[in-house]
Amino acid sequence: MSETANINISIAILLLPLLGFIIVLFFGKRFPKIYLAEVGIISFAFILSLVVGYSKLTSFLHQDLLFSFTWINFGNVPKIGELTVDLGIKIDNLTVIMLFVVNLISMLVHIYSIAYMEGDKRYSRYFSYLGIFTFSMLGIVLTDNLLMMYIFWELVGLSSYLLIGFWYEKQSASDAGKKAFLTNRIGDIGMFIGILILFTNYKSFSFDFIYSQIANGILPYGSEVWLTAAGILVFMGAVGKSAQFPLHVWLPDAMEGPTPVSALIHAATMVAAGVYLVARIFVMLTADAMLVIAIVGAVTSLFAATIALTQNDIKKVLAYSTVSQLGYMIMALGVGAYTYAFFHLVTHAFFKACLFLGSGSVIHSMHHEQDIREMGGLKKKMPITYYTFLISTLAISGIPLTSGFLSKDGLLAGTLAFGELTGHWLIPIMGFLVAFLTAFYMFRLVILTFHGEPRNQHKFDHAHESPFVMVMPLVVLSVLSTFIWYTPNPIGATDGWFATEWVQTPQTVVPETSRFDFMVREPHEASVGEHGLIAHSEKYEHAMHWAHYPAMILSILLGGLGILLAFTMYQWKKISPDNIADKVKSLYKGSLNKWYVDEIYDASFISGTLGLGNILSWFDKWIVDGIVNGSATLTRVFSKISGWFDTYIVDGFVNATAFISGFIGLNFKRMQTGKVQTYIVLVVFSIIVLFFIIGPF
Amino acid sequence: MNGFPILSLITFLPVIGMIIILFIPSKMIKEIKITSLIITFLQIILAVVLLGNFNYNAGGIYEVSSFQFIEKFRWIELTGLSWIGTIKVDYFLGADGLSLPMILLTAIVSFIAIISSWNISKSIKGYFALFLLLDTGMMGVFVALDFFLFYIFWELMLLPMYFLIGIWGGPRKEYAAIKFFIYTLFGSVFMLLVMIALYFSAGETLADGRVVYTFNLLALMDPANYLDNGLLSPLNPNNYRLAAYIALFVGFAIKIPMFPFHTWLPDAHVEAPTPISVILAGVLLKMGTYGILRISYPIFPEITEQLAYYIALFGVINIIYGGLVALAQKDFKKLIAYSSVSHMGYVLLGMASMSTTGITGAIFQMFNHGTITAMLFLIVGVIYDRAHTREINGFGGLANKMPIYTGFVTVAFFAAIGLPSLSGFISEALVFVGAFGVAEIRTLTMIGTLGILIGAAYMLWTLQRIFFGEFNTKWENVLHDITFREYAMLIPLTIIIIFLGIYPSAMLDIMNTSVNTLVEFIANGAQNIRISGM
């Protein structure tokens, strides 16, 4: 298939779900069966993504397929010259793998939802939302530039908001939707500023163009500090979307959405978009930026794992495990284990989707009971759900023969190699600790849900295996959670096609002075390794090689230990969990209450902002407007005073003058008697007076 | 289009309509309404004709020859007035990429506001007559190229607005109307002063030694036209120019409204009837920012550069302050009013960047804010018409009762939040791109980006409080989903918002050449003045 054909099909894949969204949104009321169109469209998009994937990985394995067009043209801009904003798509191996993963899981979730959402009063609305989500997610996957990334980034935020708050009659659901959107926006602001830094300097949003400029030594504002800043700021978008600490708080709440949505959006695809973003900007990350990313990832994965230990809601446990696993992937990117980070993204997408859909199957059959303390013994009632759930749990725990083992092992080996090369040993230590905790809390979940005796007989009696459309996706996903799809060697990912042929660490473009020296092959070393192009130095290869077996053995040991402990505590009940909880009461409480992060945010940021709003509103009303009204009042008072002054002083003066003249006139007129004798007397008197005043003596 | 006075027609068409209405007996309510509807619809047609004949490559701004649809003739000429010499006022209209978006906006918003006026019940004849007069005033501001004429249109719009709020408004209408009137008049006085000062500073000396002054805006933009001893002459820069700039800016800032001159806005909005709020937010506020771009920027380029930081600062204050105050509002309409304060801040920030991207973003934001906020006020009107209250906490669960209405609200709210694929995103993003590119205001811009978080917070919170949760059965018999008339108002705006979100070039291309011309003109002008002043 030609390059153009691949691109055209990819554009079709992108637009099909949008079409589904529009059709179902506008015709859902009139034609209740229209949701089937949406399911059909997604299935068709999935088939197309298989076609593109096959074509790309066979015919264009080492070649990117590109397509772009001018969206906005600013013409000849003063001081800059021609300035355009281009949009476009870039199809590389990452893209086609993601197309496959997103479309497959989306399709399975569509099918699953037919039964799961049956009877909901907004049934067709639900499918249209799934359509717009899939469209937005595919946009993120296909983009070749940061602007389009941001556009679709926000759109998945919208669809996530709509789907979390799908049952908006519930206060908790609409709260959760709002929280998800706002928390994500915090990260998005950082991402946006990062994009602004890059655009200001390179006048382009295109990944490839920006990287080629950096490779040519043109740095943002001429400084490596700004390059680091840009990397970390763009990464903030991933902190929000992939629920990394400290913005992880929205994801557990997002479980208010329908469970298939949790599987699709809040486990397999959207939350992985953050990881995908970091993979996309990987080549421009400086050593400092990578270290920050590694630390954020490691802290997140450990932090979330400690919370998952004590949760009793089946979906909450899975939500925290998702946060933890996303932290893993972010950490892996931070330590430079690019391939394994992406590998883990893919394997995690399948087994976590399977776990969520499995939990949905349980919740569905238990009449919307989500508390694992009310479950138990469901293995007998729901065997298919149980076994698929178990396979996925083994995968997430990193047990050999599963896909999760391969990716997790590579990822942990990467952290070990990083520790060896840089001395940051804390990161692998946290990584391995999480491996142990994961195995423990996941088996705690399995045992409490499926093993033992039912703890709520009534609900147990009503439980039943789910219908075919619900278990079929579970089977597909659990089959995909085995090693065989990625490598023929169950304990060696490097023998497979995924980690060596399809996904390779790209060459960093960061200048020598601010990158990890092991990220680039020395000039004297061959540029082509054993399995094609390899970006890392030989030093790194050696470290990776050295770390391979210790990592594998440690992770199997720790995973096994975690499982063993879970069985000892919950299956065989040799150790009472309550006793432990009593002994470390404050720790237990802290974990159970998610380390009070929500409470802290409520008390600080949220109350602070609302309080500030109230204060400013008061200020606006009484001070700013007070001055306006005050000056109006003042003017009125002044005009009253001047009115009074006018009436009584100015006019009074006038009147007084008139009065005085009148008064004088009145008195003087008395003299006008008209009698000659009086006049003569006055004249004589006057002369005498004058005579005395000016007289000669 | 040569010679056809299309700009005069589009400006004075509403006055013709007003005269027709005055001749219709006040009992013939329907005829009055339909006349107004036809007049505003014809205005849209004329605006589309303008668009169809518009040359995208002509810059305008300072050059008469690249303005389009020009109409120019002597309007007032008084000779031999002792020391003043000759007073000349031109009737000078023209359009460029700066004014055309505003002309389109005025036509569209006026038409929709007429539809929204359908259920006005008090003295209908007077209402529609005044409305049409207001329409002329607004349109005139956007096409006038003579300062005197600009000022007349500016004041012309004031009077009908005063009565429209004062007679057809809510409980505190008198207070709101007089506040609006006096506040704007206060600004106008400054504008008048600056206008007169400019008038006596520039002009041409005739052969017989007489000096002929001018109000022509384009002539005032050219430093060569200033008299050597002119008070505001750029040839000998002085503090009078700074003072004049600030005075003029205050006149415009009141209209925007810019903090701290904004408090007339919430009162005016809360008291004004829905269609008047739509006009107020949709068009009137843009006159302030338009005036700055059309008059302050090219006439005082060097002062603009000098004060750009402060313009950006006030822009960011508007964004953050308006948003935070909106967060605390309990009245739906007041919340939208404060959101306007916040959104107009983006316009100021974009303008302050004096870059192509920033100013393009600012003008586009003016257009988008016009359509989006018009829609938001219509939305408030829909609910107020039915429930006669705007108390946000008094509702809840409307999504199930009024699903289609909720759909429109969601589009409008997310447009206001700046969701990509809706028009508001493009303009806000361009504003930030432009402002971030200027080193002096980079930090301010970063603070300004917090506005998109605060905006999302108050919008989503409002959405949740009114539309989600349990339905308040108190409204069971009162609230019904939207009517045909409301569809007719909301659908066109929705289409515009989505269309420009996906294909912004439709609007950006109109303004592009003019914005580039403006940016270059300011940069060169400022530089030339600095050199001559040294």
Nearest to B420 among A72, A151, A168 (CB): A151
Contact in structure between B295 and B248 (CB atoms under 8 Å): yes
pLDDT in tens, A134-187: 999 999 999 999 999 999 999 999 999 999 999 998 889 999 999 999 999 999
Question: Can you list the positions of beta strands (E) in B402-495?
Answer: none
Unique residue bearing structure tokens 């000759």: B86
The answer to whether the CB atoms of B263 and A181 lie below 8 A apart is no
**CB A609 to CB B457 under 8 A?**
yes
**Quick one: pLDDT at residue A3?**
86
Q: How far is B116 from chain A (nearest CA, A)?
A: 26
Q: Which of A91, A76, A624, A428 is nearest to B59 (CA)?
A: A76
- Structure-token match 């009115």, residue found: A643
Neighbouring CB atoms inside 10 A of A302's CB total: 19
Q: Provide, as residue numbers in chain A, all residues whose Cβ is less than 8 Å from the Cβ of B420.
A: 150-152, 154-155
Nearest to B450 among A76, A189, A199 (CB): A189
Q: Among B456, B329, B340, which Cα is nearest to B393's? A: B329
Instruction: Give me the pLDDT at residue B1, please.
Output: 52
Chains A and B: how many Cβ contacts under 8 Å?
133
Contact B512 A616 (CB under 8 A): no
> Any CB–CB contact under 8 A between A635 and chain B?
no
A553-564 pLDDT tens trace: 999 999 999 999
Kindly state the tokens that stand for B473. 């059965």
Helix (H, G, I), strand (E, B) or coil at A174: helix
The answer as to whether B533 is a domain residue is: no
Facing residues of B76 across strands? B89
Average the pLDDT over B153-180 and give the result.
90
Q: What is the pTM of this model?
A: 0.91
Taking only the tens place, the pLDDT of each residue in A194-238 is 999 999 999 999 999 999 999 888 999 988 999 999 999 999 999
Contact B457 A78 (CB under 8 A): no
Q: What percent of chain A has pLDDT over 70?
A: 97
Q: What is the pLDDT of residue A530?
A: 43
How many angstroms away from the CA of B370 is the closest CA of chain A?
21
Q: Give the pLDDT score at A531.
A: 42
The string of pLDDT tens digits covering residues A311-322 is: 999 999 999 999
pLDDT of residue A644: 87
A73 touches chain B (CB under 8 A): yes
Residue A286, CA distances (Å) to A277, A281, A374 in order:
16, 11, 50
What integer is the mean pLDDT of B184-194?
90
Q: How far apart are CA B515 and CA B529, in angstroms?
A: 21
Strand order in the sheet with B211-213: B68-81, B85-95, B211-213, B203-205
The beta-carbon neighbor of B464 closest among A71, A178, A610 is A178
For residues A237-254, give the mean pLDDT.
Answer: 92
Whether residue B504 lies inside any domain: the answer is yes
- DSSP secondary structure of B222-271: -GGGB-TT-TT-TTS--HHHHHHHHHHHHHHHHHTTPTTS-THHHHHHHH
Contact present, A185 and A128 (Cβ < 8 Å): no
Contact (CB<8Å) A182/B523:
no
Task: From chain B, pick out residues whose CB is under 8 angstroms from the CB of A71.
Answer: 504-505
Tokens linked to B37:
């509807």
Is A697 a residue whose pLDDT tops 60? no
Q: What is the pLDDT of residues B204-213, one digit of tens each?
A: 666 666 667 8
Tokens for A161, please give them.
């908001």
Helix, strand, coil share (%) of chain B residues, nearest 5:
75, 5, 20
Evaluate whether residue B534 is within a structural domain: no
In this structure, the number of other CB atoms found within 10 A of the CB of residue A166 comes to 21
Query: Contact, A337 vs A410, CB < 8 A?
Result: yes
Least Cα separation, residue B414 to chain A (angstroms): 9
Distances in Å between the alpha carbon of B202 and those of A502, A676, B212, B219, B394? 72, 76, 8, 8, 59
| Residue closest to A498 by CA, chosen among A63, A93, A6, A56 | A93
B419 contacts A75? CB cut-off 8 A: no
Confidence band of B200 (pLDDT split at 50, 70, 90): confident
Instruction: List the structure tokens of B504.
Output: 């912004």
Q: Which of A168, A171, A202 best tests the B interface by mutation, with the highest count of B CBs <10 A? A: A168
**How far is the C-alpha of A561 from the C-alpha of B472, rounded, in Å?**
55
Residue B80 lies in a domain: yes
Three-class HEC string of A204-226? CCEHHHHHHHHHCCCCHHHCHHH
Structure tokens at A85: 């904003």
Alpha-carbon span B300 to B202, nearest angstrom = 13
pLDDT for the residue B82: 58
Contacts of A165 in chain B (CB under 8 A): 468
pLDDT band at A133 (very low <50, low <70, confident <90, very high): very high
Contact B504 A151 (CB under 8 A): no
Report the pLDDT value the prediction gives residue A535, as an integer from 0 to 100.
64
Torsional sign, CA A654, A656, A661, A666: positive
Residues composing chain A = 697
- A563: amino acid identity, one letter: I
Residue A463: pLDDT band by 50, 70, 90 thresholds? confident
A258-281: average pLDDT = 91
Rounded distance between C-alpha atoms, residue B221 and residue B166, angstroms: 38
Q: What percent of chain B has pLDDT over 90?
A: 63
B-chain residues within 8 Å CB-CB of A193? 436, 446, 449
Per-position DSSP letters for B507-534, written without gaps between them: HHHHHHHHHHHHHHHHHHHHHHHHHHH-
Chain A residue nearest residue B455, CA to CA: A182
Please answer yes or no on whether A168 and B420 come within 8 Å at the CB atom. Answer: no
pLDDT tens digits for range B272-304: 999 999 999 999 999 999 999 999 999 999 899
Confidence band, pLDDT 50/70/90 cuts, at residue A542? confident
Using CB atoms, which residue from B263, B356, B420 is nearest to A624? B263
Sorted by sequence, the CB contacts under 8 Å of residue A282 that are 6+ apart come out as A333, A338, A505, A506, A508
Q: Which chain B residues contact residue A632 at CB under 8 A?
A: 179, 182
| Predicted local confidence at residue B237, as pLDDT | 67
Bridge partners (DSSP) listed for residue A69: A87
Q: What's the average model confidence in pLDDT over A231-258?
A: 92
Among A219, A43, A22, A11, smallest CA distance to A125 is for A22
Best B317, B353, B357, B392 residue to mutate vs chain A (most A CBs within 10 Å): B357
pLDDT at A445 over 60: yes
Instruction: Using an 8 Å CB-CB cutoff, list chain A residues near B467.
Output: 168
The pLDDT of residue B357 is 93
pLDDT for res A584: 86
Residues A456, A462, A464, A466, CA torsion sign: negative
Which residues have a Cβ under 8 Å from the Cβ of A221 and sit 6 or more positions away?
A: A197, A201
Reading phi first (left if > 0) and then psi (alpha if -120 to 50, else beta), residue A521 is in beta
Chain A residues lying within 8 Å of B393, measured CB to CB:
none
Predicted-assembly ipTM surpassing the 0.95 threshold: no
Q: Are B316 and B248 in contact (CB under 8 A)?
A: no
At residue B502, the pLDDT reads: 94
| Alpha carbon of A262: minimum distance to chain B alpha carbons (Å) | 21
- The pLDDT score that the predictor gives to residue B95 is 92
Has residue A495 got a pLDDT over 80? no
Task: Summarize pLDDT for A568-594 with one digit per residue, the tens.
Answer: 988 888 888 888 888 888 888 888 888
Number of domain units in chain B: 1
Strands (E) in A248-407, as ranges, are none
Question: How crowded is the C-beta side of A482, counted as CA atoms within 13 Å?
Answer: 10
pLDDT at A241 over 90: yes
User: Is the separation of the CB atoms in A106 and A264 below 8 Å?
Assistant: yes
By C-alpha distance, which of A520, A523, A507, A528 is closest to A212? A507
Higher pLDDT, B318 or A488: B318
pLDDT band with cut points at 50, 70 and 90 for residue A504: confident
Contact A76 B446 (CB under 8 A): no
Tracing tokens 């400290």 back to the chain, one arrives at: A246
Distance CA B49, CA B7 (A): 11
Say yes or no for a CB contact (<8 Å) between A628 and B264: yes
The model's confidence at residue A89, banded by pLDDT at 50, 70 and 90, is: very high
Distance CA A448, CA B289 (A): 65
- Could you tell me if A125 lies within 8 Å of chain B, comparing CB atoms? no
pLDDT in tens, B348-390: 999 999 999 999 999 999 999 999 999 999 999 999 988 888 8
Average pLDDT over residues B408-429: 94
- Cis, peptide link before residue A32, omega less than 30° from 0: no
Q: What is the mean pLDDT of residues B484-491?
A: 92
What DSSP state is assigned to residue B98?
Answer: T
Contact A196 B397 (CB under 8 A): no
Q: Most A CBs within 10 Å: which of B185, B305, B419, as the mutation test of the A interface? A: B419
Q: What pLDDT does B108 receive? A: 95
What does the pLDDT read at residue A529? 45
Q: What's the CA gap between A408 and A343, in Å, rounded?
A: 9
What single letter denotes the amino acid at residue B318? N
Give me the mean pLDDT over the A92-106 stretch.
Answer: 92
Q: Is the pLDDT of residue A36 over 60?
A: yes
* Other Cβ atoms within 10 Å of A424 Cβ, number: 18
Average pLDDT of the residues of chain A: 88
Contact A117, A258 (CB under 8 A): yes
| The predicted structure's pLDDT at residue A588 | 86
Summarised one tens digit per residue, pLDDT across range A641-682 is 888 888 888 888 888 888 888 888 888 777 777 778 888 888
In this prediction, residue A280 has a pLDDT band, given cuts at 50, 70 and 90, of: very high
Backbone angles phi, psi at B441, to 5 degrees: -110, 20
pLDDT tens per residue, range B62-93 = 888 889 998 888 887 776 665 556 677 889 99
**Measured between alpha carbons, how far is A297 from A292 in angstroms, rounded to an integer?**
9
- What's the domain range around B300? 6-255+262-527
Contact criterion met (CB < 8 Å) for A169 and B400: yes
- The Cα angle at residue B256 between residues B250 and B147, in degrees rounded to 5: 60
Q: Bridge-partner residues for A85, per DSSP? A: A72
